[in-house]
Chains A and B, each alone.
Chain A
Amino acid sequence: MSKNKNIFLIKLKRRLEALWVFIKLLLKNKLTGIAFITIVLLTVTAIFAPWISPYPDQGQGQVNLEEKFQPPSTKHIFGTDELGRDILSRVIFGTRISLVISTITIVLALVIALPLGLLAGYHGGMVDEIIMRITDVFLSFPPLMIAIVIASFLGPSLTNAVIAIAVAWWPWYTRIIRAQVMSIREKPFVKASNCIGTNKWVILLSHILPNTISPVIIQASMDMGGVILTAASLSFIGLGAQAPTPEWGLIISTARTYIIDAWWYSAFPGLMIFITVLSFNLLGDGFREVFDPRTRVR
């Protein structure tokens, strides 16, 4: 028993060491480091929005008509909107919505993709063929277009936008999981388990599943930026969040009417989307560089 525990500890130590090397490699690039810190700050902002934002009530929608269309000032750093609400506070609450919905979207896409990918990769044959042809149809179109079409059928709401984006995104993950399963299926330890008659489900869940997770998680984290952009675009054309939700895309959509008089109204929420997506994309590039064996030496 103590020997088992020892092996477990050694394994854990190795994992941690590998993780440490990975983080060191990742943060070697300064831009990646800045992006990483920005994402941490954004997450903190999202969690503590009610305490960080200067006017939490306005952030959540309370109207303040005396201060309509105030340009940026020390009192309202990002200015105010047509209902006098502090745009900085709205944007801070928007961080919450964007990070939460993009995470839920990706988790949902993974929930669809995981069983299908495992099935296609492990079972093979006809099942694999059918699942792959379905993903082909999806992969022939940009995700934003699929999301717009599906969301327009489901009707405008934030929940429907999440479902629409998840449906547009799952085929990418199914592909990755399938490829991973197929390569692991051929590994000696899986074949050995097969030979000694281990149950199919045990092999699938205890050997194959844990080994498919990490590449998918990495891909998913690289996709965060794209999902945030897609969600904002849907809200912008009226297919996502509905007023008075402080969703970034929706805020800019409302601001469109007032661009002649109030430039700050659309500029700052958009800047926030830009910074968030850029950080996720830079982090994704950092990941890619670490995992690309060609650039690893450099």
Chain B
Amino acid sequence: MNSKDNVLEIKDLKVDAHTVMGTAELLNIKHLEIKTGEIFGIIGESGAGKSLLALTILGLLPKNVYVKNGQILYKGEDLLKKSQEELSQRIRGKGITMIFQDPMASLNPVFTVYDQVSQVISRHNPGLSKKQLYDRVIEMLELVKLSDPENTMKKYPHELSGGMRQRVLISMALSAKADLLISDEATRALDVTIQAGILKLLEELAEKLGLSTLFISSNMALASTVCQRLGILYAGEVLEIGRVEEIIRNPRHVYTRSFLSSLPTVEKKGKPLPIIKGIYPDPLNKAKGCIFADRCPDYSAECSQNKPTYHEVIPGHFLACIKEEKHKPSSDNDMD
């Protein structure tokens, strides 16, 4: 857990929201890190707070949402202590960047591709001549493998196909040479074939540019092919983090297991997929103890009394579950 190896480190992060019905607890993350150069996946159902986590990192929270406490360290600097002005000038686009679920909605409909890409480049590289700017735009569009960049950049977003739009968005995201890319379900709105192309591109770019990636997805199968490590997010809390192989082969948290077993696979053909009983927690009214307690088949009274500590079960594998704590008392000691 040396902070030098980590491009991003989140500690004790709590994010709340004011609503007319009261205060909603949206995120509660004890500890999370993204190592330099890795692709780290955050997996969760819709509403788990994945996108909110991304927006918190970039400091782009909606007006009623605020950070209650915690630290977000980007290369050792606490982002939560920075002003909007500083974030905009030094961090967003230039250090940390993001691509979004819906490329059509994320591109400005009334500006051409050139206008939008060049705006990002000139923001972070003031003083470029017109010619240099033009060349840089071409270079960026070629980087994301858009054919015929000279023609493409004259077009408006609605004139492009879904896959091209996402490529344009990626080129915008990377055009200021950021080193941490947050991909928020970037392939969700695309056809499966195009999805594969975009994933391949992201992997290639990560390697070529030495990017670290936070890969947000609700699709476990997809994430496990791309990522090196996975974190399981449930109702704003991380329940388990570990290497992909560990998570897939040897899931320790009941929720992770249920999540995995609800994926359709060839072996399960013909059998009904299991459903997790109960309802998703209400952020306005969160349980005091384990967040998953009321849906857990292994429930016992102590689960709803105390919050399970977040501990390392085997090196590099973290878990938040009282049951597992008991089973492996030795790893509990390792933690302290």
B-binding residues in A (CB < 8 A) = 24-25, 28, 296-298
B19 at the interface (CB under 8 A from A): yes
For this complex, 9 residue pairs linking A to B, each with C-beta atoms less than 8 Å apart, are A24-B20, A25-B20, A28-B20, A297-B17, A297-B62, A297-B64, A298-B20, A298-B63, A298-B64
Beyond A297-B17, A297-B19, A297-B20, list 10 extra A-B contacts (CB 8 Å).
A24-B20, A25-B20, A28-B20, A296-B20, A297-B62, A297-B64, A298-B18, A298-B20, A298-B63, A298-B64
Give bound CA distance, A232 to B220, whole Å: 65
User: Residues of B at under 8 Å CB distance from A?
Assistant: 17-20, 62-64
The residues of B that contact A296 with a CB separation of less than 8 Å are 20
Q: How far is the CB of B297 from chain A (nearest CB, A)?
A: 32
Give the A-B contact count at a CB cut-off of 8 A: 13
Chain B residues within 8 Å of A298, by CB: 18, 20, 63-64
Chain A: CB-nearest residue to B21: A21
Complex contacts, A297 vs chain B, CB 8 Å? 17, 19-20, 62, 64
State in angstroms the CA–CA spacing of A102 and B259 once bound together.
Answer: 59
Residues of A within 8 A of B62 (CB): 297
Cα distance, A297 to B23, chains bound together (Å): 11
A296 to chain B, nearest CB (A): 7
What's the minimum C-beta distance from B81 to chain A, rounded to whole angstroms?
26
Smallest Cβ distance from B62 to chain A, in angstroms? 8
Task: Count chain B CB atoms within 10 A of each CB in A25, A296, A297, A298 and give the residue with the most.
Answer: A297
How distant is the Cα of A28 from the Cα of B18 in the complex, in angstroms? 14
Contacts of A25 in B (CB 8 A): 20
B20 cross-chain contacts in A, Cβ below 8 A:
24-25, 28, 296-298
Instruction: In the A-B complex, list the 8 residue pairs whose CB atoms are closest, starting with the nearest.
Output: A298-B64, A297-B19, A297-B64, A25-B20, A28-B20, A298-B63, A296-B20, A297-B17
- Minimum Cβ distance to chain A for residue B211 (Å): 34
Rounded to whole Å, the gap between the CB of B69 and the closest CB of chain A is 22
Give Cα A28 to B64, complex, Å: 15
Q: Which residue of the partner chain B has the closest CB to A290? A: B20
